[in-house]
Amino acid sequence: MPRLLTCAAVALTPLALVACTESSDPATTAADADNITGQLVGEGASSQQNAMSVFQKAFIEAYPKADLSYNASGSGAGIEAFINGTATFAGSDSALKDEQVDQAAVRCEGNPAWHLPSTIGPVAIAYHLDGVEETINLSTQNLARIFSGEVTTWNDPAIGADNPGVALPDKDITIIFRSDESGTSDNFQKFLAASTGAWNSEGKQFPDTVGEGANGSAGVADQVEKIDGAITYVEAGFAQGRENIRVATVDFGSGRVELNNQTVEAALDSLAFKDTDSPHNMVVDTEALFASRGEGAYPLILTTYNIVCSAGYDQSQSDLVKAFFSTALDNQGAQLEQAGFIPVTGTHLQRLRDAVDAIA
């Protein structure tokens, strides 16, 4: 299907960026739209619910006789629904477990399920520090020291070494962590372990030995905004537009890196995958991602998978799946970014397009 390139100025950071997206040729879409009918059912991760709302709107505009129903019931419920056939695809913050891979193959009529890491949410290190105009920079080692409670004040010499020339205040650091079980907490702890080798906790429950807990992404952001000296880890969209919150740059090992579209794209372009047999089954090697130190790359990102059958759908469902995910990939622009996600571009976008096109 021919595609047109459109560009719009968008801003994840104070620097305006230009996001370019491809959209289907209107004439071709009109000709094909009558053949795409029915409701596509997805279920799973709530982390991508807002992205799915953006994609649903674009989908029904392109295909008026089709619709998407996405139930944000959580990753586990989504995988269960996909395996038992009540959902056409699953959204999940984690890949299928070994036993689920076999179950999914049965559901897909003997064909493997593919993981499409198509919803990208960077994690920001968000802080509130009155009186400091400069953006704070933190190395991965200092992030581990702060969130473990080893470094307790902003003027600690370790933080000073990351911020030469910055007058850091003698102010207590208040750690704000997710009090609820969270995929963000799980991935942030995996990141600290992989990037530093000095973090021993793991899982969706963040240690409650230091700091204060808050429920949900909005909850931790709200607490940081209220408390001078506070710091948290949170999906980037929740740190945007708040008067008292700044987003730290991070030194992953090759100098300070700002969180923006270009630095996330650099990390996405170098993704490594665990399945070497199929280029379309893109289970991210998160340990390699989180340990990466590429210059100008921001690897602290969450990749939400959309899990689909590589084959085994009936023709109408196959058409719906391909049309919906093609539409989603055509709409990686300003609206998606405003919903708190990073539009995929470049190498990773082409990988995803190739996989969607290969669904039988």
286-339 per-position pLDDT tens digit: 999 999 999 999 999 999 999 999 999 999 999 999 999 999 999 999 999 988
Phi, psi of 344 (to 5 degrees): -85, 140
Residues in the chain, overall count: 360
Cα–Cα distance measured from residue 273 to residue 286, given in angstroms and rounded to the nearest whole number: 9
Q: Give yes or no for residue 27 having a pLDDT over 70.
A: no
Cα–Cα distance measured from residue 177 to residue 34, given in angstroms and rounded to the nearest whole number: 49
Q: How confident is the model at residue 183 (pLDDT cuts 50, 70, 90)?
A: confident
Q: Give yes or no for residue 264 having a pLDDT over 50.
A: yes
Which structural domains are found in the chain, ordered by start? 3-121+272-284+302-358 (3.40.190.10), 123-262 (3.40.190.10)
- Six token digits for residue 246: 């700044």
Cα–Cα distance measured from residue 215 to residue 18, given in angstroms and rounded to the nearest whole number: 34
Neighbours of 311 (CB within 10 A): 15
Cα–Cα distance measured from residue 159 to residue 130, given in angstroms and rounded to the nearest whole number: 16
In angstroms, what CA-CA distances link 317 with 71, 85, 322, 324?
18, 12, 9, 10
At 86 the three-state DSSP class reads coil
What percent of the chain stands above pLDDT 90? 80
In angstroms, what CA-CA distances link 159 with 142, 152, 300, 315, 328?
7, 10, 20, 58, 41
Q: Is the pTM of this model over 0.85?
A: no
Region 19-46 average pLDDT = 68
